[in-house]
Structure 1
Amino acid sequence: MGAEFEVAVAGVAAPPAKRRRRMVAAAGGARRRATRRAPAPPTRAVQRLFQASRAVFRGPGTVPAPAEVALLRAMLDRMRPEDVGLSADLRFFKAREAAEGKTPTITHTTIYKSENFSMVILFLPPNAVIPLHNHPGMTVFSKLLLGSMHIKSYDWAGPGPDPATSGANSLPDDRLRLAELVVDDVFTAPCDTSVLYPTAGGNMHRFKAIASCAVLDILGPPYSIEEDRDCTYYTEIPYSHQPSSDLVDNEQERRRLAWLKEIDMPKELKMCSVAYGGPPISDR
């Protein structure tokens, strides 16, 4: 049984050997041409997000332009948990500590970090809290990938009066500064991406997980003690609790104001880091 052997399939006889060879050669050429024309496989969502972030964040002192903000925000709005390898079954989301009356541990992982920007994911089990803190000189994109959380954020209300220097405080070491409420609401995934800027958008914010949460943050530039971008924590003092609270007459505006006081990092804050295990990115 050599090359001349013919096979009938479904009652149709195979062509002669020479014709078969011509057909096979033609089919092989067509496959090669089709292979050459085939587009490259689609880039992973996290890789596309990384490439866009690298183009948008150009170093300390720069703030993305409105068109660049719109680009990153649209990309983040489409991000899904599986795009970074997440599911709600991960151990980061267990509530055992809260059930035992302990402070829940917040876990974070770094996808990428450079001098210009960083990409990180925060994992918060139920009732976990990231206290009120700032982002000095930074633009931050936050995308809630999983869960539900309460977010409260402030911006400085201008230089404003300082009760510590005006003698309004009983404790002269207290340094208070007036801040205006920007956000005080509950967010549930999927929801729109939030953006904060160096002096607007709620640069100082507080997270409290209602249900297990995962938050994808892009920070540009990232925190850096060496470059004077360390994280500062605050405690809130209601505006009306200070003698100088008669500076604002409008009741609605008064409710949106608070005095913020710098504090040390809360001792109850428990954070740990883990290696990123999602789809890899290439910085080439």
Structure 2
Amino acid sequence: MPPASTDANNAIQKLYDVCRASLSEKGPLSPRDSLDNVRAALDMVTPSDVGLEREAGAVRAWRSPRAALGRKRVFHSSPAIRYRHIYECASFSIGMFCMPASSIIPLHNHPGMTVLSKVLYGAAHVRSYRWIESAGSSINLSKARPAKVVRDGEMSAPCGAMVLRPEEGGDVHALRAITPCAILHILTPPYSSQDGRHCSYFRRRPRSHPSGVLLNRTGGSEFVWLEEYQPRHNFIIRRDLYTGPALKL
């Protein structure tokens, strides 16, 4: 069990309180104000608020010029991606991914879910897509479907939170750790197979070009074809112990 909190006003407690007041089983109570409130609270969370100050300090040393030839000695970590679960209810979940350098979380979806993410330390590359579908149409995951890139860039701490809304696209994304990094996630509503919200993984599929890219010559837009697949057996996310302050529920 994580240690009891000695500060009822710590940032992770405030984040939980704001989430409870702003999020429902159908997602944000209001598209703008609720998300703004949650994002503002998320932006205030630091590594020390969730028990990751030592790891954050190690990454600062890892990125220093003096560590260029001895990074393995500076940062001691498992090569596996680790997930530290903080809280979950029917309305939202809060958790952290701790990723070693060069590790990848493959393209995956968040069906009907809003995702808020903040890099607590280190840097990660984020690439997200939206499906090219007409309004109201359903996605058949068993077939390759065209998708368009909506975000392709680096998130490096300290930085503001990223928000992916299902109605705005970008609900299929991949994460690649540029340095060792930790990413704090809020999902609303959370994954639930019972409610049809389960995680599927995707990859590029060549359609008309070996790169998997289809160019829309009339609009000058770039599309890719994505198909569902099962990641390799060596892709493992290990459950890790959350060592930050306990929440007062």
Q: How does 1:1-284 map to 2 (within 5 A)?
A: 43-60=9-26, 64-89=30-55, 104-159=79-134, 175-237=143-205, 240-241=208-209, 245=214, 248-250=216-218, 252-254=220-222, 257-283=223-249
Cα 1:249/1:69, change in 2 over 3 Å: same
- The number of equivalent residue pairs is 222
Provide the C-alpha distance between the structure 1 equivalents of 2:156 and 2:54, rounded to a whole number of angstroms: 14
| Greater Cα radius of gyration, structure 1 or 2 | 1
Higher share in helix: 1
Write 1 or 2 for the structure with the bigger share of strand.
2
Post-superposition offset of 1:266: 3.3
Tell me the C-alpha RMSD between the 2 structures.
3.0
Structure 2, unpaired ranges of 5+: 1-6, 63-70, 73-77
CA contact (8 A) 2:110 2:197 kept: yes
User: For the residues of structure 2 that align with 1:174 and 1:59, how far apart are their CA atoms?
Assistant: 27
Does the Cα contact within 8 Å between 1:238 and 1:259 map onto a contact in 2?
yes
Cα deviation code 1:116-174 (max 9, x no counterpart): 111001100001100000001111110100101111000112149xxxx9xxxxxxx97
Tell me the equivalent position of 2:66. none
- Using CA pairs below 8 Å that are at least 6 residues apart, which structure has the higher relative contact order? 2
Could you tell me whether the CA contact under 8 Å between 1:152 and 1:184 is conserved in 2? yes
- The 2-side partners of 1:244 and 1:221 are apart by 32
Report the Cα offset of residue 65 of structure 1. 2.1
Whether the aligned pair in 2 keeps the contact of 1:195 and 1:201 (CA below 8 Å) is: no
Counterpart of 2:106, as a letter, is P
Contact 2:105 2:175 in 1 (8 A): yes
Q: 1:193-249: per-residue Cα shift (whole Å, max 9, x none)? A: 001122325111100001010000011111111221110000013665289947x22
- Answer yes or no: is the 8 Å Cα contact 1:104–1:127 preserved in 2: no
Greater Cα shift, 145-154 or 76-85 = 76-85
After superposition, the Cα gap between the structure-2 partners of 1:70 and 1:239, relative to the gap in structure 1 and judged at 3 Å, is: farther
Contact 2:128/2:170 (<8 A) preserved? yes
Change (3 A) 1:77 1:176: same
- Identity rate, percent: 35
Gaps of 5+ in 1: 1-40, 97-102, 166-172
Secondary structure of the equivalent of 1:199?
helix
Q: 1:209 to 1:245 in 2, by over 3 A?
A: closer
Q: Check whether the contact 2:143–2:227 (CA below 8 A) recurs between aligned residues.
A: yes
Supply the AA of the counterpart residue of 2:38. Answer: L
Tell me if the contact between 2:25 and 2:188 (Cα under 8 Å) persists in the aligned partners: yes
